[in-house]
């Protein structure tokens, strides 16, 4: 059926109803013939625009906005009116728009979510739906849902528990599946799993849209999640569950429970780990060093830190170390100091990294004792990598590898300018947000952005195409290697540890092709292996055109 007229149920739409359908609306791009045929004459100005001309108009609107939050609000409004034009705009200049529809602007959007709310996108699952979650999921109009991005809003970026305001994250994440890797938007479903919030200020805000009650016990939460996971298997049998921004202990527990049982992954744990491993791989290629020779110190021992540590251990094991040898090369330091055996507050997943060492609450002392080659910040503690920390790393290493992953910007452990200045330009640096270029000693350095958008859309595209039974940690190691391989010598010379964002789609398709190939090799895929995997994947890409 024609793009313009068929809706989900095959009815022919006319007139205002067609203009109100964001998926099929072309706005001023409807031709004269289409306007006559579908009862649109007189409902639109007479000029017929091309998609490019419409995009030009959108750009002028965006340029006139005073800040990125207003641009975010405008773009979400555009998505409500015309999905094709929205994605055409994003994919026209992804490097410009990713920071607006996602991090860091989405943090502001989430904080203001109840105040800037226009219309529902996705689904809200609440505690009082217990026993009926499957029935509720059937209210979604699309039957072939391939990805659900689900969050409780329990640990959003560096913002903490913001409850139902966290819905901005699943919406933004799934938009990047399409904008970065051309996964068709119709198969994506954002879900906010509203179990209440610990945030008393939000519960008191009259414009807050979520449940005004504290979260349930762990047991009750686990029962709700179990019902949700099983309901997804029934209602959307080809669906991958992407867990996003759950409280750290919940995130680790639920991933270990479901990773081997259903098609799922946790982006905060596995996606973050994969993108850090990609940056680390590039940094080690620049200095011609082996991963198995590195000593890695983390500031932050939550789900992201543990997830990165576990994936680095798995990668070291693939390169010949035993699990014990690999773990001995990794140490973690959190708000209560170094993880070591005398600590009585460690979780099971933290305990494996508590090596014999004297207790320490001083990061510089720990650096001098442990002698790390790599320092990774996942603490959400802005400025934690101060001058003494960076100088200590620089004394120990000719080229210290320093990653300040926490975001948004004010949560970064240090800025690119600080890392380069305090290391006299020696640091190989990446952050979770994009810092501007820095000129030092006559050289202009371009800091890397260790952002998951290099990884999870590619994993999503490989999963969309190959339909694997499961997504394993090895898939994320392959994605990291494929990402690192795309950083050419000229980018490395500028200090870049990740591919350029300007051609993100080609980068993601390359990574997705490698991951899909691995899925076929390991017997994970549930479709027949094509002769040319890349061409086969390219044939399935969403293209925003009328």
Q: Would you name the residues annotated as active-site residues?
A: 102, 173
Which residue carries 């020779």 as its tokens? Answer: 293
Structure tokens that stand for 53 in this block: 């001309």
- C-alpha distance from residue 13 to each of 16, 17, 194, 427, 451 (Å): 9, 6, 34, 59, 41
Is 311 within 8 Å of 274 (Cβ atoms)? yes
What is the DSSP-derived secondary structure letter of residue 28? G
Bridge partners, residue 431, by sequence = 404, 449
Could you give phi then psi for residue 428, rounded to 5 degrees? -95, 110
Cα(187)–Cα(83) distance, rounded to whole angstroms? 14
The DSSP code sequence of 252-318 is: HHHHHHHTTTSSEEEIIIIIHHHHHHHHHHHHHHHHT--GGG--EEEE--SHHHHHHHHHHHHHHHH
Cα(517)–Cα(512) distance, rounded to whole angstroms? 8
Q: Which residues of 312-328 are buried (b: 16+ CB within 10 A; e: fewer)?
A: bbbbbeeeebeeeebbe
Cα(433)–Cα(289) distance, rounded to whole angstroms? 26
Is 182 within 8 Å of 505 (Cβ atoms)? yes
**Cα end-to-end span (Å), the chain:** 13
Is 162 within 8 Å of 179 (Cβ atoms)? no
Cis before residue 408, ω within 30 degrees of 0?
A: yes
Structure tokens that stand for 343 in this block: 């600590």
Q: What angle do CA 12, 18, 20 make, to 5 degrees?
A: 140
Centroid of chain to Cα 409: 16
Cα(219)–Cα(397) distance, rounded to whole angstroms? 47
- What is the CB neighbour count within 10 angstroms for residue 134? 16
Rg (CA), the chain: 24
Nearest CA to 484 out of 466, 516, 445, 510 is that of 510
Which residues have a Cβ under 8 Å from the Cβ of 159 and sit 6 or more positions away? 107, 110, 111
Counts for the chain of helices (H) and strands (E), in that order: 25, 14
């Amino acid at each position: 059926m024609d793009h313009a007229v068929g809706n989900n149920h095959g009815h022919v739409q006319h007139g205002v109803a067609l203009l109100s359908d964001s998926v099929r609306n072309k706005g001023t791009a409807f031709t004269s013939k289409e306007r006559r045929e579908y009862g649109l004459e007189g409902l639109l100005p007479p000029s017929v625009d091309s998609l490019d001309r419409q995009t030009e108009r959108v750009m002028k609107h965006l340029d006139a906005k005073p800040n990125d939050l207003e641009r975010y609000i405008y773009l979400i409004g555009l998505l409500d009116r015309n999905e094709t034009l929205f994605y055409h705009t994003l994919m026209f200049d992804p490097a410009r728009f990713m920071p607006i529809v996602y991090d860091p602007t989405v943090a502001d959007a989430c904080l203001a979510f109840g105040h800037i709310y226009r219309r529902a996108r996705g689904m809200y699952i609440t505690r009082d739906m217990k026993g009926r979650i499957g029935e509720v999921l059937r209210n979604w109009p699309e039957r072939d849902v391939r990805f659900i991005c689900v969050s409780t809003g329990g640990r959003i970026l560096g913002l903490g528990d913001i409850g139902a305001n966290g819905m901005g994250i699943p919406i933004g994440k799934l938009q990047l599946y399409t904008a970065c890797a051309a996964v068709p938007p119709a198969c994506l479903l954002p879900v906010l799993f509203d179990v209440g919030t610990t945030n008393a200020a939000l519960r008191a805000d009259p414009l807050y849209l979520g449940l005004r009650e504290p979260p349930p016990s762990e047991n009750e939460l686990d029962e709700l999640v179990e019902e949700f996971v099983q309901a997804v298997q029934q209602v959307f049998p080809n669906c991958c569950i992407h867990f996003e921004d759950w409280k750290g202990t919940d995130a680790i527990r639920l991933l270990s429970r479901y990773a081997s049982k259903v098609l799922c992954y946790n982006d905060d744990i596995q996606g973050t780990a994969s993108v850090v491993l990609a940056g680390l791989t590039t940094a080690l290629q620049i200095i011609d060093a082996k991963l198995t020779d590195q000593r890695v110190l983390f500031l932050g021992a939550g789900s992201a830190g543990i997830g990165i540590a576990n994936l680095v251990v798995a990668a070291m094991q693939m390169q010949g170390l035993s699990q014990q040898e690999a773990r001995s090369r990794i140490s973690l330091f959190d708000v209560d100091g170094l993880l070591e055996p005398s600590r009585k507050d460690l979780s099971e997943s933290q305990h494996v990294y508590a090596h014999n060492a004297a207790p320490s609450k001083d990061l510089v002392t720990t650096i001098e004792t442990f002698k790390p080659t790599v320092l990774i910040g996942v603490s959400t503690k802005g400025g934690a990598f101060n001058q003494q920390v960076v100088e200590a790393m620089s004394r120990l290493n000719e080229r210290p590898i320093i990653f300040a992953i926490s975001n948004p910007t004010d949560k970064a452990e240090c800025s690119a300018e600080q890392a380069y200045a305090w290391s006299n330009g020696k640091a190989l640096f990446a952050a979770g947000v994009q810092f501007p270029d820095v000129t030092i000693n006559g050289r202009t350095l371009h800091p890397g952005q260790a952002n998951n958008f290099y990884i999870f859309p590619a994993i999503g595209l490989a999963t969309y195409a190959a339909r694997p039974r499961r997504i394993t940690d090895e898939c994320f190691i392959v994605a990291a290697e494929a990402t690192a391989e795309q950083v050419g010598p000229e980018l490395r010379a500028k200090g870049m540890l990740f591919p350029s964002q300007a051609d993100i789609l080609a980068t993601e398709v390359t990574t997705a092709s490698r991951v899909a190939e691995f899925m076929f090799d390991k017997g994970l895929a549930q479709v027949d292996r094509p002769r040319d995997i890349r061409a086969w994947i390219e044939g399935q890409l969403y293209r925003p055109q009328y």
